[in-house]
Amino acid sequence: MIVVLKQGANEQQIENLTRWFRAKGVEPDISQGTDVTIMGLVGDVSKIDTELIEALDIVQSVKRVSEPFKQANRKFHPDDTVITLANGTKIGGGNFVYMAGPCSVESEEQIIYCAQRVKAAGAQVLRGGAFKPRTSPYSFQGMGEDGIKLLLEAKKETGLPIVTELMAVRHLDMFADVDIIQVGARNMQNFDLLKELGHCNKPILLKRGLANTIQEWLMSAEYIMAGGNHNVILCERGIRTFETYTRNTLDLSAVPAVHELSHLPIIVDPSHATGLSRMVPTMAMGAAAVGADGLMIEVHNDPPRAKCDGAQSITPDQFDQLTAGVNSLLAAMKG
């Protein structure tokens, strides 16, 4: 349920109304927009008398929200969410972000070289997998805790914030200095993991599951937000369709759909979506053109020898060209 307040509503009146709602067992989420203040009510609103609220001095209107996601809903929070990392990097609300780096951390030289190169090309966040969810148990599983340590070395060396995937709650302690925690596609509906991340104070990058609808994805974001963590970044990484020419099918329509439905930032990962390095720059342009808030790109110093996802990884030189192209497209779109 959404309560739209009249323009003149003062803090004392808002406070009184907040207390009144809490006494009824629902939690108001207050969003102070540029021209309107909205109270989104979370909880069991079935016993709330709409007409009674509508009759209050400070209330403009009351609406029921039909979608099952509430805190992730744009109706609750009309302005875009902007997430600010510790070093001041902003994500969402018109701030375009590049997250780039190798699929997995392989060595100190590799991750530091990749970090320096992607930073020089304009990336604001370094990606790199330490814990890898692989389809086969016989494939390289990642360097684990040592991989996290090397990412932190690269962070120290370059100043780039880092994003890496968390696969199990028991590993959370190792992520204390990680800037953004990634939830991978295969864990999008690992509800225990999502609940746990709702209680942590770090931004969460939530990848879309390979066979999940946009609504299911937003419900997973809702799990994190319901625990109090509102810093969720969505990442479209392709879905499974009957098409096998590309690794997955990049659903670019998810970008405008999420922007309609939610205030959360959404970035696009054309590397996992296509599985083909030659298509990555083209689809990156497509993502920027449809309004994505950023890109996540796999960049490897030596793709043919990568331990993971070499076929979809681009070289640092190709990444230089990619960011130059996307930056000029973004400038043209603004102009």
Residues forming contacts to Mn ion in the complex (CB under 5 A) are 103, 309
Q: Least distance in Å: CB of 300 to Mn ion?
A: 10
CB atoms within 10 A of CB 149: 15
Cα separation, 35 vs 253, whole angstroms = 29
Q: Least distance in Å: CB of 265 to Mn ion?
A: 21
Question: 114 in helix, strand or coil?
Answer: helix
Give the DSSP per-residue string, 293-321: SEEEEEB-SSGGG-SS-GGGPBPHHHHHH
Of 222 and 298, CB closest to Mn ion: 298
Residues in the chain: 335
Contact indicator for 262, 254 with CB cutoff of 8 Å: no
Cα separation, 115 vs 101, whole angstroms = 7
Of 139 and 213, CB closest to Mn ion: 139
Q: Name the residue whose CB lies closest to Mn ion.
A: 103
Q: Least distance in Å: CB of 308 to Mn ion?
A: 6
Of 92 and 128, CB closest to Mn ion: 128
Q: Least distance in Å: CB of 52 to Mn ion?
A: 53
Cα separation, 239 vs 246, whole angstroms = 11
Of 238 and 294, CB closest to Mn ion: 238
Q: Angle 296-298-300 (CA atoms, 0-180°, nearest 5)?
A: 150
Of 39 and 178, CB closest to Mn ion: 178
Of 222 and 269, CB closest to Mn ion: 269
Of 196 and 309, CB closest to Mn ion: 309
Q: Least distance in Å: CB of 129 to Mn ion?
A: 6
Of 106 and 309, CB closest to Mn ion: 309
Question: 36 in helix, strand or coil?
Answer: coil
Q: Which residues pair with 298 in a beta bridge?
A: 101
Q: Least distance in Å: CB of 168 to Mn ion?
A: 18
Cα separation, 316 vs 312, whole angstroms = 13
Measure CA of the first residue to CA of the last residue in the chain; give whole Å.
Answer: 39
Cα separation, 255 vs 239, whole angstroms = 13
Q: Least distance in Å: CB of 255 to Mn ion?
A: 21
Of 293 and 309, CB closest to Mn ion: 309
**Order of strands across the sheet that contains 2-5:** 27-32, 37-42, 2-5, 59-63
Cα separation, 94 vs 96, whole angstroms = 6
Q: Least distance in Å: CB of 309 to Mn ion?
A: 4
Contact indicator for 247, 238 with CB cutoff of 8 Å: yes
Q: Least distance in Å: CB of 271 to Mn ion?
A: 7
Cα separation, 322 vs 295, whole angstroms = 11
